[in-house]
Structure 1
Amino acid sequence: MSKMLIFTAPSGAGKTTIVRHLLNTFPVLSFSVSATTRKQRPHEQDGYDYHFITKNDFIKRIDTGGFVEWEEVYEGLYYGTLHSEVDRLWTAGKHIIFDIEVKGATTIKKAYPEESLVVFVKPPSEEVLFSRLRERNTESPDSLAKRIARAAEELTYENSFDYVLLNDDLDTALAEAEQVTRDFLNL
């Protein structure tokens, strides 16, 4: 039976780095590509990094039950997991790995309680997390302030999930993530 390994954390905690490492380490894993209405960044590929869709299309898919989970993460910016994405990966016989925000992780866990494990990636401290976000230089001052406020709220979810992974030292965090993956998938 295929399983879902869900990595969640505030933006800047390192979940994407960990998920990419696990994808390179475990061929049985396939990445669940989220849908979003945000603008595509120059280095991103549609269908690989995200499914970039219009706000109108996103809302139509909400209305027709096309999402396992979805959220308006920032005003006017929607993110979600398409049922078709989960079906595609499970039909291929893959275990699915997610890189997703905390509310989406909660929703997927409720929808698939037996098939999923949610790992919360914890930054060393709020200060380190906020510093990482500022150092990215990918945000306007206004969007950075919103991202920091959201990250502070998301840190309060730490004890809501199956496993907390401290990302203080990257090599240690990667080794621990590998062990959690082996244990969950019985590898």
Structure 2
Amino acid sequence: MTEAGPVFREAALADVPAVVALVESAYRGASSRAGWTTEADLLDGRRTDEEGIASIVADPDAVLLLAEHPAGGPAGARLLGCCELRRTGETAYFGTFAVRPVLQGGGIGASLLARADAEAVRRWGSAALEMTVIAQRADLIAWYERRGFSATGHRRPFPYGDERFGVPKRDDLEFLVLRRATGGPPGAA
């Protein structure tokens, strides 16, 4: 990555296959173990699919942001990261967040989060970002806390039996709801 950092743009339907491949590589299977965001010890199966990603792209109350290499290149090599923003009243839901595993820890995620924060304010005047994280992912929760998120005290059940979210390897999974005011810290490591 150059000092200029990634370039950002809104995803189009043509980007769906590359986004699915990126998200899967960051969270599932052997490739996910090259980074630290893997859920491979908690879940098997898929993390997303083309239908799910296409629905985000098509939703007028959502945007899928892409972080790309500034020098371009083939679609698979150009895509560095992605995230979803969805208008949910005064807050914006932040999800579908992935960075190519071999590039994790290099600042792309923090840059993408900062851009998502600014986009939520610009597009919808959002006062906060809200997200869910599997509660058993202490390392990931700590990363978000260093970037200004905190637990809301709310938890949501994991959708057992719905394989669109993966095939659980344990029976105690649940989601922790995290929130931060927009304009939060861009990201100290």
Give the TM-score normalised by the residue count of structure 2.
0.34
More strand by share: 2
TM-score, scaled to structure 1:
0.34
Return the structure number with greater helix share.
1
Q: Which has the higher contact order (CA 8 A, sep 6+)?
A: 1
